[in-house]
Each structure stands twice: as structure tokens, then as C-alpha cells.
Structure 1
Amino acid sequence: MQESTVQTDGLTSPEVVFLGTGTSVGVPSLGCDCEVCTSTDPRNQRTRCSILFRLPNGNLLVDTPPDMRTQLLREKIPLIHAVLFTHEHVDHLYGLDDLRLFPFRLGHGMPLYCEPQVEARIRRVYDYAFSDRKPTHPGSTPQLDIVSIGHEPFEVLGTRVVPIPLKHGPYFDVLGFRVGNFAYCTDTNDVPEASLERLMGVETLVIDALRYAPHPTHFCVDEALEVIAKVKPKQAYLTHICHDLDHAKAQAKLPEGVYLAYDGLRVPLPG
């Protein structure tokens, strides 16, 4: 395989692409005929959560949801250079096999940056990718290069990434990520004090806000707004949204500088 050159696809400055902004079942939800699920507003059509950092040295994906292939085709993203994982839940991991094509163009396995518990799930669910059996043909299994991370900053594609430890209900620890002055904190209902300190000074904060009513593992809208008030970013975006929030109606209720994210939204990556 030939080593690829970095493809920026006309990138003039770093940006973040919201590939998916929906909850674990997506919006519309199967079998639901509520006002949001039947809405004609495309901003109410939410695939499972993921973002993409378009950087000078390549495309850095956060999570591989089941909708990943559709998301990348929709946004015309032809190549992924590396992946970060927030945690191992199905809606953030189970599109992983669709990375199989990219190593042909990269010339090496796909780098996956994740915590040990995420690696364990990947090795268990995608055991065929780590088999000693000789493959029947090139591309029959994904080529994955796992890089273990913890809570210390690390570098990917020439960019410094700061992990943000978060709580996701009583049983799961997850990671948010800070890149420059942009922070992404999905799937959380608690930001520990030490993690809050890592968020200070960000210009753009993306945070979980599932619905209006409280939830045992996700921030509701009011709880997300409380975190935003503490961090004081220039702008904030709510994500991991369920069908309780109609985009236009919910946006009208949000304070200045706070926005409901939507699939396909692109925002500059602050330095």
C-alpha cells in the first residue's frame, strides 16, 4: 500500500463538522409519530453523535457511530486519518467496521486513541480484526492500530488533545476532548471539578443536553446551561438531543450565545 498524502479537501482553516447530534436511537425514532419525528425541518433529523476535526494534518474523527458511513458520505469526507473515542457504548462505537477502506489509502492501520476499557470492548466485539488467521483477501478485516490514552494530554496529527474526564451516570466514566479552545463533552451528567478547570478558557463548548426533563445519565437542558454558565465560553452548542426538542422552538428559548447543534453544522476551530 502507498502512504497517502494529507487531504484537506480545500480546507482553508481548521473547522469542526457535526456529523451527528442525536441520542442513541436517533431522531426520527423508529415507530414514533410525534411532532419532531415527523417534522420536515432537516435540523430535526439527528443521527447518532459524532464530530470531525478538520485539521491541517488530516481529519480526526470522534467516535464511530452506526451512522458513520452515511454521515461521511453526506458531508463528503473522503478520508479519516485517526479516531478518538469518548467511550464504548454502541451508539458511539458500532460503526467501526466501516473504517476498513481507509488503510488502503493511508498505507497503515487506522490509529484508534482510546482508554483501556474501550480497547477491551473493541477487541471483544471486533475479535475478527485481531485474529492470527491469514485473511482471505486485502480489506477482509479492518486494520486497527490501537493507542492507549488516559487523562494526560497527547498529540494526534500534530495537534494537542486534552482529555476531559466525565461521568455518564453511576456506572460509566467517559472522556470529553479539548482541542485548542474548543471542547466536546457528550454523554455526561457530571463534570468533576478538576475537569471543569480543564474547560476554562474555551471559546466553544459542546455539551450533552438530552431533553428538558432530568435523566439519570445525561444532562438535561437546564443542567447543561448551568455548566455553560460556569465555563463562560463565547458560544456553546447542545448535542445528543432526543425527540423532545424541536429545533426551532427549543432554539427560541435558549439564552444568547447558546445554540442547538444539528447534523451538518460546521463551526471554526478556535486556536
Structure 2
Amino acid sequence: MSPPRVVVFGSVKGAPGSTASALALTAAWPRREGGVGPLLVEADGSGGSVAAWCDASPWDAASGLVGLAAGSRHGGPAGSGAVEPAAYGSVVGCGLRVVRAPAAGPQAAAALEVLAASRFAVLRASTAEVVVVDAGRLEGSHVDALLAAADVLVLVARGGVDAMGHVAGRFEGLRARVPVMDLLVVGPSPFGPSEVEAAFGVGRAHAWPWDPAGIRELVSRGGRGRRRPLLRAARSLAEDLLWRADTGRLIPARPMTDPAIPPAEMPPAPRAFGAALRDAGDAS
């Protein structure tokens, strides 16, 4: 099985860290000698934030997400017929190549609507080692088309009961739209990855550090300081995705089990997790 080409990061509520996680995976993804390298694409309908994070040059409408949308509609730069997303990216201050979205939400949303008309086909045509997409909150009319272009959706959520309850409410609808879905559980959580996997039937649940110092190092040095928990977790995620693809284990997520009825072979902890999800859903 070939490696994933398009990996989308998104969330269902709040700001759990999808931008930082997408940046970290882009920094950690293995580089091919002579290759284009990984590419990060901002596809958040509320506007981009990487420029502010990474001390980038002023936004240029001819490049970035708006330029990519125009190129996809008119056949590439100067009508060349070739639309390579990396050509619309710029190397930002942290050393990563990013197709930047405008900070203004309406401009970003309009560009995403243009790309959605072709179901984001330009992303799958990229020669980058991987296209990592920061989708922010998964809302807006472009989301269905974006998820249809994804090989993997990485859903980012805080580890608390309320946050897991919100994920439970959206899980089935999202799972039906993507081939593979992983879950990043950010920060402290009373639930372990195996409990989350058992309750949700998700392809993989990853315990993900909340690491502000790692984020600062990432945006200032592009992940060259590899000892921070965030960068270590991102390398592990990249290696896991590539290993699962190479061994045929990058398989679709299973249907979600009834959170109140955990699998019989699991220890009692998943039952507590299921009950907590049920209670969170009843309270919402």
C-alpha cells in the first residue's frame, strides 16, 4: 500500500491544537533526497494563522491558498496546465513550506469553495512527499469535498470527558467520509488510547502532549530541536502512518461501538469510559 498522500487535521469543537499538530507532523515527516519535501496547506474557513505563528512575510494573494484556487480554476500559473500546490507555497520563518490562507475568514472560505468544486483534486496531484492539511474546525460547505480527498483524517480533541463527548456526537458522520480516521487526544486525559480505540472503533488513538515550549521551538526553529515531547510525538505519528501503510494496516475505522456497552473482552476501564461519554452526551 502506498504512503498516505493527503493527511487532514481537524477538530469538532474549540481550539485543541490542530494547527500545532499539523505543523509538527509536517516538520517530522521523512524527507526524500531530491524530493519536494512535505507541504502544509492551510484550509481553515475561518482564516489562516501560520503567518502570525512563524513570522512569515506579508501575505501575497498571487500565492498561497487564493493563488492555488485561481490556478486550479485556470490551469496553473500563466495557463501552463500544471497545478502543483507546492509552487503556491512559501517557506515561512520556521523553515516549512506552507500554502498560506489569508487571515480574513471570508477570503479563505471563498478560496476553499473554489477548490471544493474540483473536490480538492490539486492536493492529490501534488509531488510533495505528503500534503498535510490544517482544516481547523470541521465546519463549512467545503468540508465534505476536503475529506473526500483525504487518505487519513486526524481528529484532534482535548482529553476531557466533555471533549470526548463532542467527538462521540460527530464520530459516525466523519468516519463515513474518510478511508481512515485517527484520533489525537491532547493533554491530560483519564482515558488511555486503548480505551478510546475500543469505544470509538477508531483506527488509532494517540496520546498527544500539550507542549507549549515545543510549539515555541517548532515555530522558531522548524522542529530542529527534536527532543521536545511534541516533536517526538509527531515523529512517532509519521512513522506509525508509514508503517501501517507499508504493512497494509492502514485500514478503515470500524463502526463505533455502543459507548455504554464495551467489548466483552476489555477490562472494566472501557465501561467507565463509555458511561462517561453517555453522561456527557446526556448533559449536552
State whether TM-score is above 0.5. no
Greater RCO, CA 8 A, separation 6+: 2
Structure 1 or 2: more helix by fraction? 2
Structure 1 or 2: more strand by fraction? 1
Q: TM-score range with shorter-chain normalisation?
A: 0.3 to 0.5
